[in-house]
Each structure stands twice: as structure tokens, then as C-alpha cells.
Chains A and B, each alone.
Chain A
Amino acid sequence: MSELIVRGARKAYGATVALSRGDLHLKPGEVHVLIGSNGSGKSTLCKIVAGSVKPDAGEVLLDGKPVTIDGPRAARALGIGIFYQELSLAARRTVAENILLPAMPVKGGIFVDRTELEERTARIIAEFQDVAGEGFAADVTVDRLRADQRQLVEIMKALASEAPILIFDEPTSALDRAQVDRFFEILSRLKQEGRAMVFISHRMDEIFSIGDRVTVIRDGATVASSTIAETNADEVIRQMVGEREALSAESKPPVPATAGEPKLSVTNLNGAGFRDVSFTVGKGEILGFGGLHGQGQSSVLRAIFGALPHNAGTIEVGGKACAARTPAEAIRNGIAYVSGDRGRDGTLTGRPILENVTPIHFLRNRLHLARTGALATLADAPLKALKTKFQDIGQPVNSLSGGNQQKVVIARWLIDRPALLLLDDPTKGIDLAAKSDLFQLIRSLAAEGMGIVLYSSEDAELLANADRILVFNSGVVTRELQGDDRTRYNLYHAAYEAA
């Protein structure tokens, strides 16, 4: 049984203060929710406890005794296990090797004990086997897995540490509902065993279904801590955003669709992971894609954008046939694509914000010379419109929080307005305030007449923002929800029924 207390933890990277005063009191047998907008310092606090970030100041008490955590190895020795938000997996190693990488079983002192490795990982994998999906096995390398499956591996890796203190930094952002349910069952069991757990999530329903206590962090400082019973979603959001208006995307009614000529019409599109997909998106319409994770929604969007091949069917943009074979072709035809997987599809990591905002402008206008001053002026307006927070347009994009990085990625599409905007789970891992800014923008773009397709893994976002929802199941559209049919019940029902 371990009790962990963090007092006054502080961490600065140069002039940027990531965490100014982090306090946390973690008790045995509880799931302790840590919540705050992106860039508020949650992950930094977690990494300090896990030893992968060295604090500049502050103290950590374990069972009342002050401890110094020198590195991830020291943290494990003290009984602290962590799920890293950005995952800590070796892509070319197998699932089993990854799960036990921190403590590979050995025989004879130096050799990998394969039997032990297989037995121990088989036990852990068995707990998730029926929800892990196709292609998940102990001997598959991680680079063959889907995003949700990788997240499951990272969960298993944290569980395999059998540490009395477990930290889960956004473990559910890519999981579907069945996977989340299974994970929560395990958390409840660990709670009964007396383990102490930190849980970070941006999904309110998850927080209130699994949490015992909640600590709110705002701008790098712990601002409140209470039991779940004593608080509610509105209260938590108010504490998170502070003086700012507590915006909740879910409370806003969608702007009614202005019907008109179709911006996009797709007929009988077939490709890897989807088949016979047909739909149209009207002028100013927000079309939602719903359903469980990985049912073909992303693949359809990527196929339209030319990032994945399609083998049959037609795509028309603004009445003209547009079967883009590369993203560059799609972009020149007025298609924009924003993915939730910023690292893979969005940011040019390590490059300045300016360079991250302007590549589409360069491509569409076939520019070859960069005039920094003129470009900065061009980039300024969309960044402002999105309320992007940064100090200098020359600072590297990865010095921003996840939410602000995503705003930079979206801003690049706003210099030259596209006719069609494809949003592929754009709010993954983004805080509530940034989400609210994003959806405001998306609605105003729709009001200007842009056609928008929104795939979101969060049902609440879809219901609040989409004028029409297509539910995907195993690569086909199984249901279309319009008007008053757009209810949570209908959405769940269509997502779960067999195709």
C-alpha cells in the first residue's frame, strides 16, 4: 500500500514554465483523476513522478518519507509504473517483448527466458484478447498494430509492472468503448487490491464513471482537489478554464444546415478497410462519421485525400471528378485534411510555427521563394482566428501544447480556403477549451459555405456538431442519422449492431 504526496513540484524549460506548483495527494485504493487543459502541466507532473523528468524544485513523499526519483529505473524500483501518453513502445519488437521490456525475464543471468516471457504476457493479453481486435497477438511486432491496439500494449506494459502506484496519462484516447469498459473493469479490481492510480482523460463521462477523487491543474498549478461525489462536470470545467467563460461544445445546438449544391459526392467507393461507401456533402453542411474505432471512417477520408488508394467508385468535388492519387493533387483540387494523429499527418516537428502554417500556401500557389515577412503577415490572421497561443512565430511547433499544435495545423488550411474540409478525429488529445475554439471555427466555416466531413471518436462531439451522421461498421455505412434521430441511443445502437 503506497501513499504518494507531491508538493510544490516545478519544472521550466528555458523561459517556458511547464509546471509552476504541482501538488498531488494520491492514496491507496483510489483512482485519482488529474484534469486540466492541454499544456496545463499534467503530463509534466506525471513524468516527474515517473522519473523521466527531473523537477527544478519541490518534494515527493512516498509513505511519508521524502524520496528522490532519479530516473525511470529508480521510479520502478520504488513501485511506480506509468502509461505514457505518447507511448513508450519499440515498434519493431513484438507485443510480448514490449510488455516486459522494462523487466525482461532472464535465465542464467543473461539469456531471455522465452517460456517465462510467453507465460507472463499471455496472462496479461488474455484480459484484453476479446476486445483487442483482429491481428493482435503476443508475437506480432508493434508496427503492425492499429493505434488503439498500440495503446492497449502500453496499458499492458504499465499493468505488467505490478507497481502499487500506477499512472495512466490519457490511456483511453484511441480506445473504443468496449476496450475502455474492459480497462475500467481492471482498474476497479486493482482499486480493490489497494493500488493507487492516477488517471488522466479529457472525456467527462469516463472521469465520472471511474474516478474517486479529482485534482484540477490550471496553467501549471494545482487549483483544486476534491472527491468526485462533491463535484460535477460544470464545476470541474469552471475550475479548469478559470476566469474564462466555461465553454462546452456539447451544450451548443448545431447551426441548421443550408442545403445547396453538393460540395462532395462519393459513389460506391471501395478500398482497403471500406466498401460501397456513398454519400454527399452539401454546401455548408457538416457531415459526421460515427461508429466504433477503426471501422473505416479514417480510411475513407484518407482515400478522398489521396493518402490511401481506392480501387473502385467515384469522387466528385464541386461537381468535378477528382480521383486524387496523391495528397498534393487533392490539395490543388481544394480538399483539406486534418488528422488527430498530429505527429504522423500534421506537424513538421522541430520546425518553426511559420513553416508549419505555410506549406499548403506554397503548394497551391506553386511558390518557390520564401519571403518571411510577407508570409508571417499571411499566417497571422488564421492563427489569431483560432486563438493560438504562442510567443514567437519562429519558435518550434513542438514547443506548443497539443491543442495549440493542432490549431497551427488547421491554420495552414485557412490561408487559401479549401472547398472541402476533412476532419479525421481532429480533437484527439486536445483540451476542452481548444476543442470549443475549434468547433466554433468549424461552424463558422460551414456557415461560409465550406463542405465539412467530421469523424470523431467522441459521440458527444458528433451529436453536438454534425448536421447528419453516417454510422460505420466494419467498413460499410450501416445507418444514417438525421434530425431528431441524432440521439446518443441511436448512435450507440448503430455502432454496436453487427454489420
Chain B
Amino acid sequence: MSNAATQTNTGGLGRLIRRYPFLPALIILVLLLALNGIFEPRSLSFRSMTGLISTYLALMMLAVAQTYVVFSGDIDLSAGSIVSLVNVSVIVLMQKWGGDGFAVIAACLAGALIGLACGLINGIVVAGLRLQAIVATFATSIFFTGLALTVLPVAGTPAPEAYWTTYGGRFFGIPFVFYAVAVVAILLAILMRMRLTTQMLAVGDDQQAAFQSGLPVTAIRIKGYVFCGLFAALAALCITGDTASGDPLVGGKMTLYSVAAVVLGGSALAGGFGTVTGSLIGALIIGLINALVFFVGTPSEWQNFVQGLAILLALMTGILVSRGARA
């Protein structure tokens, strides 16, 4: 009934966070940038920023991918394996087709299709067959990794020069990765306005209510996984550009980082609430933490320890900021 506590006290910050749920993440991001600047002034240069983005563009893409399944209350533990599978497939196809410009484009398209197919399989297994998302996508992750290992058993085949020089190159004086970021931003702005996004969030909010409202719940969840597969493929293309080689295990470690990025960005893992922008910021936070760990000169054996601690701190700061705004 009248729960006055939830009714009143809409402070300025509280209202801002309701409108822009990724605000706490943005604050942490700025804080980390400042810390990086203090410990290594050169880290804020244009060149370093370019380096940061080209390294972490893949994780940003994967965080976006993960967000679309988390919206409807699902999770995809195979996202990283899809990255691996697409990475090795693209490398092998480019090599097979001759490595010229046409081969590169054709291989990228094929990679995107492979990502879509993986997403579709996940969607059918989780939403269609109604298996538990965590366990089912864990199983498909092993399956996708297995496929990747048959496509390219050993890491090392290099990407054609045309590919990585484009990814690392500049056009009209601006690095390629910035164009990539711009295209993704436009794409996300379009996706945000789609009815499907609202429907995914409604499904994540309360699946039964969404079903009773007449929404095609299964189809919506499957579409979420297809989006996830597609963006995972884009992540693979980025990582291929960054590492310039094929590696059947390259994405494995990225899965849980993508989940962490989604949560750091202010989305609810239970679904129904969140923004893609937040996830992008979350991925950058992880990137900046890794950079900071390096810049403060942490001894190598302590780096994992400090990195984990820093991510925990970032999570807590985010929660404290949003809670402080609510109370």
C-alpha cells in the first residue's frame, strides 16, 4: 500500500540515475581516466587512447552482445567461444580464399553468419527447449570451442596484411577503430528505439506477465540470442584485427569479462533493466583497470590480485552511488 519511502525523495541525482542508469559507471570511468593520467600522463594521449580502444573494442562488442540476452533475463556463457569460433573461421577462410580485399570481406560476412547461427542454436536450446540458460550455454560453449579447435587446432595462422593494416590504420587522419566505434554507436542508437528492445526488457522484467500480455516470449528470447551471436561475431572481427592471427581459445576468457562489463554498466543480471551504453562503459572500465594495474607498476605476480580487487571496488562504488542517490 502507501509505501511512502518509494514515493518521495526523488533527489536530483536520483532522477538523473533513473534517466541514465549508466551514470555511476560513467563516474567510475572518469575517475579511472584521471588515475591513469596521474600515474602515467602519456596514457591520456590520443595515441594511447587509440591503442586502448583497439585492444578493448572486442570486449566492448562482446559486452553489447551479452547485454541483449541479459535484457530478457538470460545469460550467454558461450559468447567467448563464439568469438573463438568466428576468429579461427575467418582466418582460415581468408587464407583459403587468397587473402585479397574481396576474400577479407567475404570471410567477414561468413564470420557474421557463423555468429548468427551460433546465437540461433543457443536461442533454440535455451528458449525453445527451455533448458537452464547458464548450463545450456555452458554446454554449447564447449561445443563451439570444440568446433574452433577442429577448424584451427593450433594458434598462430596470421591474418592477411590487408586485414590488420586496415584495422590498425588511419583514414583521413583518423584511426579506423574510431570509425568502427561511430558505426556501432549509430547501430546501437537504432536498436535502442526498436520495439524489440522494449519487449526484451518486458520479458526480463516478468516473463509470465509478458506472456499474459500477449508477447511472443520464446521468439523474443531467441532474437536476443541471435543479436548476441551477431555482436559476438563483430567482437571476433575486432580481436582478429588486433591480434592479426587465429587462436581457437582466444575468446574463452572474455565471457565472464563481458558479464562483468554488463553489471558494471548498471544492468540487472536478473533482466528487465539496463542500457547498452552502460555495458560499453563497463567494458572500458575493465580495460582502464588493466591499464592502471600496469601503470602503477604492480609486480607481475600481483597483477591478477590487484585487478580482481579493482573490479570489486568498481562494482561497490557503482552500487554505493546508485544507492546513495535513492536514499
Partner of B198, one of A75, A82, A93, A144: A93
Q: Which chain A residues lie closer than 8 Å to B7 at the CB level?
A: 134-135, 144, 146, 273
Tell me if B4 counts as interface (CB < 8 A to partner A).
yes
- Asked if A298 contacts B193 (CB within 8 A), the reply is no
B residues 1-24 in Cβ contact with A at 8 Å: 1-8, 18
- Asked if B209 contacts A146 (CB within 8 A), the reply is no
- Asked if B5 contacts A308 (CB within 8 A), the reply is yes
- Asked if B214 contacts A102 (CB within 8 A), the reply is yes
Scoring A residues 69 to 81 as 1 if CB is less than 8 Å from chain B, else 0, what string do you get? Answer: 0011101100000
Tell me if A259 counts as interface (CB < 8 A to partner B).
no
- Asked if B214 contacts A72 (CB within 8 A), the reply is yes
- Asked if B195 contacts A76 (CB within 8 A), the reply is no
Q: Which residue of B lies closest to A339 (CB)?
A: B1
Partner-contacting stretch, out of A103-111, A355-363, A414-422 = A103-111
Q: Which chain A residues lie closer than 8 Å to B193 at the CB level?
A: 111-112
- Asked if A90 contacts B3 (CB within 8 A), the reply is no
Q: Which chain A residues lie closer than 8 Å to B196 at the CB level?
A: 110
Scoring B residues 16 to 54 as 1 if CB is less than 8 Å from chain A, else 0, what string do you get? Answer: 001000000000000000000000000000000000000
Contact A52-B199, Cβ < 8 Å, known A90-B272, A144-B7, A293-B1: no
Contact A92-B211, Cβ < 8 Å, known A112-B198, A273-B2, A296-B2: no
| Whole-angstrom CA separation of A101 from B216 in the bound complex | 12
Tell me if B75 counts as interface (CB < 8 A to partner A).
no
* Minimum CB–CB distance for A114 against chain B, Å: 8
Tell me if B293 counts as interface (CB < 8 A to partner A).
no
- Asked if B3 contacts A146 (CB within 8 A), the reply is yes
Scoring B residues 201 to 228 as 1 if CB is less than 8 Å from chain A, else 0, what string do you get? Answer: 1100110111111111000000000000
| Whole-angstrom CA separation of A341 from B195 in the bound complex | 33
Tell me if A406 counts as interface (CB < 8 A to partner B).
no
Tell me if B273 counts as interface (CB < 8 A to partner A).
yes
The binding surface of chain B is classed by DSSP as helix
* Minimum CB–CB distance for B323 against chain A, Å: 15
Contact A298-B213, Cβ < 8 Å, known A110-B196, A112-B195: no
Contact A298-B2, Cβ < 8 Å, known A90-B272, A104-B199: yes
* Minimum CB–CB distance for B78 against chain A, Å: 27
| Whole-angstrom CA separation of A425 from B201 in the bound complex | 33
Tell me if B174 counts as interface (CB < 8 A to partner A).
no
* Contact-residue bracket for chain A: 35 or more
Q: Which chain A residues lie closer than 8 Å to B190 at the CB level?
A: 111
A residues 150-172 in Cβ contact with B at 8 Å: 157
A residues 269-284 in Cβ contact with B at 8 Å: 271-273
- Asked if A73 contacts B216 (CB within 8 A), the reply is yes
Tell me if B186 counts as interface (CB < 8 A to partner A).
no
* Minimum CB–CB distance for B208 against chain A, Å: 8
- Asked if A294 contacts B1 (CB within 8 A), the reply is yes
Q: Which chain A residues lie closer than 8 Å to B187 at the CB level?
A: none
Tell me if A305 counts as interface (CB < 8 A to partner B).
no
Q: Which residue of B lies closest to A87 (CB)?
A: B209
Partner of B209, one of A71, A89, A424: A89
- Asked if A110 contacts B195 (CB within 8 A), the reply is yes
| Whole-angstrom CA separation of A399 from B211 in the bound complex | 21
- Asked if A88 contacts B213 (CB within 8 A), the reply is yes
Tell me if B194 counts as interface (CB < 8 A to partner A).
yes
- Asked if B210 contacts A272 (CB within 8 A), the reply is no
Q: Which chain A residues lie closer than 8 Å to B214 at the CB level?
A: 71-73, 75-76, 102-103
- Asked if A90 contacts B194 (CB within 8 A), the reply is no
Q: Which chain B residues lie closer than 8 Å to A71 at the CB level?
A: 211, 214
Q: Which residue of A lies closest to B4 (CB)?
A: A273
Q: Which chain B residues lie closer than 8 Å to A97 at the CB level?
A: 198, 202
Partner of A92, one of B4, B199, B201: B201
- Asked if A147 contacts B206 (CB within 8 A), the reply is no
B residues 51-92 in Cβ contact with A at 8 Å: none
Q: Which chain A residues lie closer than 8 Å to B201 at the CB level?
A: 90, 92-93
| Whole-angstrom CA separation of A103 from B216 in the bound complex | 12
Contact A91-B4, Cβ < 8 Å, known A52-B211, A52-B212, A104-B198: no
| Whole-angstrom CA separation of A272 from B9 in the bound complex | 10
* Minimum CB–CB distance for B255 against chain A, Å: 26
Tell me if A405 counts as interface (CB < 8 A to partner B).
no
Partner of A72, one of B2, B6, B213: B213
| Whole-angstrom CA separation of A424 from B190 in the bound complex | 47
- Asked if A110 contacts B194 (CB within 8 A), the reply is yes
Tell me if A84 counts as interface (CB < 8 A to partner B).
yes
Q: Which chain B residues lie closer than 8 Å to A473 at the CB level?
A: none
* Minimum CB–CB distance for A5 against chain B, Å: 23
Partner of A102, one of B4, B194, B215, B268: B215
- Asked if B202 contacts A101 (CB within 8 A), the reply is yes
| Whole-angstrom CA separation of A293 from B209 in the bound complex | 25
| Whole-angstrom CA separation of A89 from B208 in the bound complex | 9
Scoring A residues 413 to 453 as 1 if CB is less than 8 Å from chain B, else 0, what string do you get? Answer: 00000000000110000000000000000000000000000
Q: Which residue of B lies closest to A104 (CB)?
A: B195
- Asked if A90 contacts B195 (CB within 8 A), the reply is no
Partner of B195, one of A106, A148, A294, A296: A106
- Asked if A92 contacts B272 (CB within 8 A), the reply is yes
Using a CB–CB cutoff of 8 Å, the interface residues on chain B facing chain A are: 1-8, 18, 190, 193-196, 198-199, 201-202, 205-206, 208-216, 268, 272-273
8 cross-chain CB contacts under 8 A: A88-B206, A90-B206, A90-B210, A93-B205, A101-B199, A102-B215, A271-B4, A272-B5
Besides the known contacts A101-B213, A110-B196, 4 further A-B residue pairs in the complex with CB atoms under 8 A apart: A101-B210, A111-B193, A271-B4, A308-B5
Using a CB–CB cutoff of 8 Å, the interface residues on chain A facing chain B are: 50, 52, 71-73, 75-76, 82, 84, 87-93, 97, 101-104, 106, 110-112, 134-135, 141, 143-144, 146-148, 157, 174, 271-273, 293-299, 308, 341, 424-425
Q: Which 4 A-B pairs have the closest CB atoms?
A: A273-B4, A294-B2, A90-B205, A272-B4
